Chain A
Amino acid sequence: MDSFSSSPSSGSNSQFQSEQLKNQLKAQLAQAYIEQFMETISTKCFDKCITKPGSSMSGSESSCISRCVDRYIEATGIITSTLFSSPH
């Protein structure tokens, strides 16, 4: 019982495909955004925390990076709420 191909209302089939396409697009856009965000964090935190690259990552370097990631995400939140909540 192939209801899609033999359905008289082909509108409902293309409606479904349209929804699928929209969801796929949204997922790809979200993915691209996340990748760009991660790349920015990597650049900033490498600059801040890995000042003299050694033969392995030190404990202070990795804790600096953890804090840096947290702070950068926090900074993004501050900027988002500054621009999109309070009117000035």
Chain B
Amino acid sequence: MDPSQVQSAEFAQFLAQEEQRAKVGEMVIKITNVCWDKCITGTPGSKFSSSESSCLSNCARRYMDMSLLIVKRVQNMQ
């Protein structure tokens, strides 16, 4: 492989990594958005109560579980 081919392959890998990173970031933003609404019902205080923090982490896990369920369900329909 000549140097320019090596560079293209390397660059393609770099782009794939950055795309993956961007998707992960999107997911965190989305889930925080949704779980904030679910879990932080009153006016924000100077710290989270323990029920608020456990709600947030439960929410994130359940959201991921749900996403998987949805994919499986939709796949079964096809």
Seen from chain A, the residues whose Cβ lies within 8 Å of a Cβ on chain B are: 11, 14-15, 18, 22, 25-26, 29, 33, 36-37, 40, 44-45, 48-49, 64, 67-68, 70-72, 74-76, 78-80, 82-83, 88
Contact = CB atoms under 8 A, between A and B. Distances in A.
Interface of B: 3-4, 7, 10-11, 14-15, 18, 21-22, 25, 27-29, 31-33, 35-37, 39-40, 43-48, 53, 56-57, 59-61, 64
B43 A72 contact: no
Given A71-B40, A75-B39, 17 more contacts: A15-B3, A36-B29, A40-B29, A40-B33, A48-B44, A64-B43, A67-B46, A71-B45, A71-B47, A72-B36, A75-B35, A78-B60, A79-B28, A79-B56, A83-B31, A83-B61, A83-B64
